Structure 1
Amino acid sequence: MGITATIPLLNNFLRMVSHLHGSLLNYSTLSNSLGMANNTVRRYVEILEQAYLVRRLEPWFVNVSKRIVKSPKIYFRDSGNLHFLNNIRHYEDLITHPVAGTSWEGYVIEQIIPLLDPAIRPHFYRTSNGAEMDLVLIDGITPVVSIEIKLSLAPALTRGSTESITDLKTEHNFVVTPNGGNVAVRPQWIHCNIREVIEHLKALKMIAD
């Protein structure tokens, strides 16, 4: 069964999902806000995912000793759709809009994930005490790469980022900003732009040449 909602309800549904871009996907919140059954909301999200409109990014939670978030995050795969649903028409509107940071985050994620070797699985990582990583690349059952995504040109790393790589024990850690530079910002971190981090992932055999 496909989407049977009226056009106005479907429009509201898409806008509500766009407001969750880069956030945890809470089906109950969507259900209550839209007055739709929880199962219907789940089915509609699955249809959007099958149509390649959205991506659900699952959390990595092997470490059972931590209180780890187990809900997926949701992203619009096309930044243009995200901007349209948030009435963003011009670059000047985007850079001052609250969605700017998560728009960049989703854009970077969407440039990386489709290029990955099928054996490499993408996740995010978050614990209840504040450790968080935007993108973690898993080889088998081993976290290998951590990627923190920042819109700011200055790659400031939070305590949550540093705690994450301690938890994950990733050997390769990158902070991706628009300008990059391919420079070490801390002993365990390299500051990159999108092109530079893709080259690093190729060198690690996570992306085919």
Structure 2
Amino acid sequence: MKIGSSAPDFDQLTFARDARTGQLLNVTDIGNTVDVDRKTVKAWLSVLQASNIVRIVEPFWPNVDKRLTKTPKIFFMDTGLVCHLTRWITPEQLRNGAAAGHIFETFVVSEILKSFMNAGKSLRDVWFYRDQKKREIDLLIQEGHILHPVEVKMSATVGKDAVKNYSCLEGLTGYEIGFGHVVCQTPDPYLITKDVQAIPVWGI
């Protein structure tokens, strides 16, 4: 498929991307799904990014050179569009379906990214964390040398187990761990630890 190829081909590619929102970006897998090459997938992704339909969140890595070799995540900026294109259109599907967690995370991350853009802040200060042991933190908000960890959970109540991976940040040379949050469906904010607060999704 070339850049000037038919709209149905692009619809296929868009569908493939929607089905993977909130997940690691695998260009080869997307190309195999819709039978196009990596170059074509990357070209269309650049169009989606320029149109602010998707945003790429890069992995945080203390070694700046190695950041470029790590796999990023992709997020659609409109969960309504995701649900329309993937036919996840009922409350039951969104609540109980296999992709429910990815849709919820996509909503939270997209709202945080939008708030950064509206405030004139750099999206380059928003990362996610994934180490060689596959321990993950959904978002890292960087303020200079301070890293604020953020987890996203669908549940209404979360405990200390939800933030166990925050300890992965300890000992990073040149960085400090700032106050963290867990975005969830709690009706009211509450402290999980003295340095981490659970906040309702409506409060982001």
Normalising by structure 1, we get a TM-score of 0.81
Contact 2:76 2:110 in 1 (8 A): no
1:67 shift after superposition: 10
Contact 2:129 2:137 in 1 (8 A): yes
Distance 1:180 1:45 in 2: 37
1:144 shift after superposition: 2.9
1:82 shift after superposition: 0.8
**CA 1:85–1:7: 2 relative to 1, 3 Å:** same
DSSP 3-state at the match of 2:150? strand
- Where in structure 2 are the equivalents of 1:135-146 lying within 5 Å? 135-140=139-144, 142-146=145-149
**CA 1:67–1:119: 2 relative to 1, 3 Å:** closer
Q: Quick one: which amino acid aligns to residue 53 of structure 2?
A: L
The answer to whether residue 178 in structure 2 is matched with residue 171 in structure 1 is yes
Contact 1:15 1:85 in 2 (8 A): yes
CA deviations over 1:125-147 (Å, ceiling 9, x no partner): 1112132111111123x243111
1:100 shift after superposition: 1.2
The answer to whether residue 114 in structure 2 is matched with residue 114 in structure 1 is yes
Q: Which residue of 2 aligns with 1:154?
A: 157
DSSP 3-state at the match of 2:177? coil
Q: Which residue of 2 aligns with 1:206?
A: none
1:8 shift after superposition: 2.8
CA deviations over 1:142-167 (Å, ceiling 9, x no partner): 24311100011121434752333435
Unaligned runs of 5+ in 2: none
Q: CA RMSD in A?
A: 2.6
Distance 1:68 1:46 in 2: 17
Q: Which residue of 2 aligns with 1:201?
A: none
Distance 1:194 1:48 in 2: 26
Q: Quick one: which amino acid aligns to residue 129 of structure 2?
A: Y
Q: Which residue of 2 aligns with 1:91?
A: 91
Contact 1:132 1:160 in 2 (8 A): no
Task: Choose from 122, 134, 139 the match for 2:138.
Answer: 134
Q: Quick one: which amino acid aligns to residue 49 of structure 1?
A: Q
Unaligned runs of 5+ in 1: 199-209
Q: Quick one: which amino acid aligns to residue 149 of structure 1?
A: V
Q: Quick one: which amino acid aligns to residue 27 of structure 1?
A: V
Q: How many residues align?
A: 194
- Where in structure 2 are the equivalents of 1:28-107 lying within 5 Å? 28-63=28-63, 70-107=70-107
CA deviations over 1:58-92 (Å, ceiling 9, x no partner): 1111158x999811100111000111122112212
Q: Which residue of 2 aligns with 1:202?
A: none
Contact 1:173 1:189 in 2 (8 A): yes
Q: Quick one: which amino acid aligns to residue 30 of structure 1?
A: I
Runs of 4+ in 1 over 6 A off after TM superposition: 66-69
CA deviations over 1:3-25 (Å, ceiling 9, x no partner): 42323322221111112111111
Q: Which residue of 1 aligns with 2:25?
A: 25
Contact 1:79 1:107 in 2 (8 A): yes
Contact 1:148 1:174 in 2 (8 A): yes
Normalising by structure 2, we get a TM-score of 0.83
